[in-house]
Amino acid sequence: MNQQIIVKQFPKGWVKETDFELVQAPVPSIKDNQVLIHNQWLSLDPYMRGRLMPGKSYAASAEVGAVMVGQAAGVVIESNSKEFKVGEHVLSYSGWQSHHVANSELVKKIDVSGVPASAYLGVLGMPGVTAWTGLMGICEPKPNETVLVDAATGAVGSVVGQLAKSLGCHVVGVAGGKTKCDYAVKELGFDACIDHSSSDFKDALKLAVPSGIDCVFENVGGAIFEHVMSLMNPFSRIALCGLVSEYNAQPYGNQQIRSILVNRIKLQGFIVTDKPDTWPSIIDSLKEKVLSGHLKYKETIAHGIANTPKAFIGMLKGENFGKQLVKLD
List the chain pLDDT tens, one digit each, 329 residues.
999 999 999 999 999 999 999 999 999 899 999 999 999 999 999 999 999 988 777 778 899 999 999 999 999 999 999 999 999 999 999 999 999 999 999 999 999 999 999 999 999 999 999 999 999 999 999 999 999 999 999 999 999 999 999 999 999 999 999 999 999 999 999 999 999 999 999 999 999 999 999 999 999 999 999 999 999 999 999 999 999 999 998 889 999 999 999 999 999 999 999 999 999 999 999 999 999 999 999 999 999 999 999 999 999 999 999 999 999 97
Q: How far is CA 87 from CA 30, 84, 123, 131, in A?
A: 16, 9, 23, 31
Q: How many Å apart are CA 200 and CA 196, to the nearest integer?
A: 9
Decide: 292 and 269 in contact? Cβ < 8 Å: no
Q: How many Å apart are CA 116 and CA 121, to the nearest integer?
A: 10
pTM here is 0.95
Specify the domain boundaries for CATH 3.90.180.10 within the chain. 2-122+297-327
Torsion sign over Cα 293, 196, 217, 206: negative
Q: Who's near 277: CB < 8 A, 6+ residues apart? A: none
Instruction: Say which CATH architecture domain 126-273 belongs to.
Output: 3-Layer(aba) Sandwich (3.40)
Q: Tell the CATH superfamily of the 2-122+297-327 domain.
A: Medium-chain alcohol dehydrogenases, catalytic domain (3.90.180.10)
